[in-house]
């Protein structure tokens, strides 16, 4: 019987799932795709933090696995919340693509004034770079965002470079350096989540990339200790054990940053605890400003 792989219906999600299915088929595994609708895809008129954060993209697929409708699901790993339901495992983490953000623009970069993004992290980092910028909310899939850019609603928009690469998009713009515009934890990484079944996990785990898993699990360990969800502007990026993590104020004027070489998940957790303690005021301020109850 084929392994039934669930996916969102956006162009990017389908491209990512096609990549995973091709890898599985190459190793001799029969697969079948099933599209699952999520609230994050259907409610695009408000910021993510108002409908539950990045987890809204994952919840429907989790439920479909637990209900036996699908065997596994393909996700952008940065969308997977820290707290996971029982009965699910991350069977494989694919070799990481570019972790960087990309600024796509229709006019010369030095003329850009209005930038579209609904990410509190991207907004804060852009304002830190240039406080005179006007950051306007922008949600929707990649196609929708690019259409709004072409319609002139924005001078530029921010995308994940990995998504563009997976969709084979050739867009005018520049890569933003990850050491300055520190990415969201796990950005550029595809994960396969499945039910906790030894046989299924053995099949899927053949696609696991050890170095990527080590790096992104370190990022998640920091993220879990820092807290703040998608409400607090924070960038966390680990490459070959070199960790950069920061928490910013919503307006980008203040920042707590940590940069260290780590060897273990315990090292990462210690960094996360340190960052949380040093940035606690910024985290509390973000929750208060956005009118959200602090998770801690």
Place of tokens 């820290």: 82
Quick one: 252 and 142 in the same domain? Answer: no
Percent of the chain with pLDDT over 90: 80
Residues 6+ apart with CB under 8 A from 238: 215, 216, 218, 219, 222, 244, 262, 268
Quick one: 83 and 198 in the same domain? Answer: yes
How far apart (Å, rounded) are the C-alpha atoms in residues 252 and 116?
Answer: 16
**pLDDT tens digit string along 88-124?**
999 999 999 999 999 999 999 999 999 999 999 999 9
pLDDT for position 38 = 63
Q: What is the mean pLDDT of the chain?
A: 91
79 is catalytic: yes
Quick one: 7 and 89 in the same domain? Answer: yes
Is residue 296, in this structure, part of any structural domain at all?
A: no
Residue 52 CA from chain centroid, whole number: 15
Tally of structural domains, the chain: 3
- CATH code of the domain covering residue 40: 3.40.190.10
pLDDT for position 266 = 98
Out of 62, 71, 79, 101, the active site residue is 79
pLDDT for position 39 = 55
135: pLDDT strictly greater than 90: yes
Print the domain residue range for 126.
101-175
How many angstroms separate the Cα of 46 from the Cα of each of 75, 138, 295? Answer: 22, 9, 21
- CATH code of the domain covering residue 278: 3.30.160.40
Residue pair 76/16 in contact by the 8 Å Cβ criterion: yes
How many angstroms separate the Cα of 20 from the Cα of each of 7, 25, 37, 245, 248? Answer: 11, 9, 19, 29, 35
Quick one: 199 and 146 in the same domain? Answer: no
**pLDDT tens digit string along 32-78?**
999 997 654 444 444 444 434 456 779 999 999 999 999 999 999 99
- 86-124 burial, b for 16+ CB within 10 Å, e for fewer? eebbbbbbbebbbbbbbbbbbeeeeebeebbbbbbbbbb
Is residue 183, in this structure, part of any structural domain at all?
A: no
């Amino acid at each position: 019987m084929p392994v039934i792989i669930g996916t969102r219906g956006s162009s990017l999600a389908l491209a990512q799932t096609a990549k995973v299915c091709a890898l599985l088929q190459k190793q001799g595994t029969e697969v079948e795709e099933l599209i699952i609708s999520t609230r994050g895809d259907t409610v695009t008129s408000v910021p993510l933090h108002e409908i539950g954060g990045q987890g809204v993209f994952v919840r429907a697929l989790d439920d479909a696995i637990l209900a036996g409708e699908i065997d596994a699901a393909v996700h952008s790993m940065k969308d997977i919340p820290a707290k996971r339901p029982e009965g699910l495992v991350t069977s494989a983490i694919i070799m990481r693509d570019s972790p960087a953000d990309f600024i796509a623009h229709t006019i010369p970069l030095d003329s850009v004034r209005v930038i579209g993004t609904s990410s509190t992290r991207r907004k804060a980092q852009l304002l830190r770079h240039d406080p005179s910028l006007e950051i306007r909310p922008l949600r929707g899939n990649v196609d929708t965002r690019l259409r709004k850019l072409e319609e002139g609603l924005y001078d530029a928009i921010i995308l994940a470079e990995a998504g563009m690469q997976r969709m084979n998009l050739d867009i005018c713009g520049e890569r933003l350096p990850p050491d300055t515009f520190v990415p969201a934890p796990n950005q550029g990484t595809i994960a396969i989540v499945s039910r906790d079944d030894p046989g299924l996990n053995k099949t899927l785990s053949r696609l696991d990339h050890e170095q990527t898993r080590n790096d992104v699990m370190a990022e998640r360990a920091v993220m879990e200790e820092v807290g703040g969800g998608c409400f607090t502007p924070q960038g966390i990026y680990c490459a070959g054990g070199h960790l950069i993590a920061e928490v910013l104020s919503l307006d980008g004027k203040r920042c707590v940053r940590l940069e260290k070489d780590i060897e273990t998940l315990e090292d990462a957790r210690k960094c996360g605890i340190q960052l949380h303690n040093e940035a606690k005021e910024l985290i509390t301020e973000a929750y208060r400003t956005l009118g959200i109850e602090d998770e801690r």
